[in-house]
Amino acid sequence: MSGLDDNRLVRTFAELRSAGRKTLSPFLTAGFPDVETTAALLHDFEARGVKVCELGIPFSDPIADGPTIQSSFTSALDAGFTTADAMELVRGYRSAGGGIALVAMVSYSIVFRRDASRFLSEAADAGFDGVLIPDLPLEEAGEFEPLAAERGLANVMLIAPTTPPQRRLQIAGHCRGFIYYVSVAGITGERDKLPEATIEQVRELRGHTDTAICIGFGISRPEMVRTVCEVADGAIVGSAIVHRIADAIQQGASRDDIVARAGEFVSELIEPTL
């Protein structure tokens, strides 16, 4: 779509592919433990080489999130964090020169309640580059994708291991920026290994689409990132990062220490993509 020619997310994956590079896409809960720490984490990750990051907008009833991310959502909401605060967070990050391609991971309940056109306009104005709505069905994507593209936002969608082959292709056709391939059936969380069937499914899908494919759910160690990046364009890591942030908070760590601990882990995860 011509409206996305200069989209930061689309451009980033094109540049990575041109350079023969893969990428790590960390996930952060916006506002956890607070706005300032989230912003500091983004700047730290960028300094360590992160090109793409997902920001989860806290919601009271997570769609497929395990206990780690769900707990971070609850903590942010209990502290009064709102969707408007998430927009301000991103606006502040951009104002400070932040250049990571940011994808808003958000429940459709939030989008619907604010009105899709209004939400997408706010997200674009704030500085988001893409939107990922886990509970947006394929049947609704045909209307939603153009609304996003008109505002310069890439529409990212999920494909699950249980998604039938033909439906995978249909979903891929509505994705811009990248396709989020869910590695396992179930919820987010750290796992010891990924199913071999997932790797084969991604390899098969790769032959049908030029859109970048990133694998998420369960990836928690550098060696898993390496395995994923043999067939995909990137690895998404969420729970393992949020877990380290939560542990640091529980231990009474300062903001600088929280950021340093999470950042050091991200550096380990990035290494196999270089």
Is the CB of residue 108 less than 8 Å from the CB of residue 133?
yes
Indicate the residue type of 227.
T
**Whole-angstrom distance, CA of residue 238 vs CA of residue 242:** 6
Is the CB of residue 132 less than 8 Å from the CB of residue 156?
yes
Residues 181-206 as b or e (16 or more Cβ within 10 Å = b): bbbbeebbbbbeebeeebbebbeebb
**Locate tokens 């689409």: which residue?**
209
DSSP state of 23: E
Radius of gyration of the chain (CA): 17
Active site amino acids: 54, 65
**Whole-angstrom distance, CA of residue 262 vs CA of residue 113:** 33
Retrieve residue 53's tokens. 């990051």
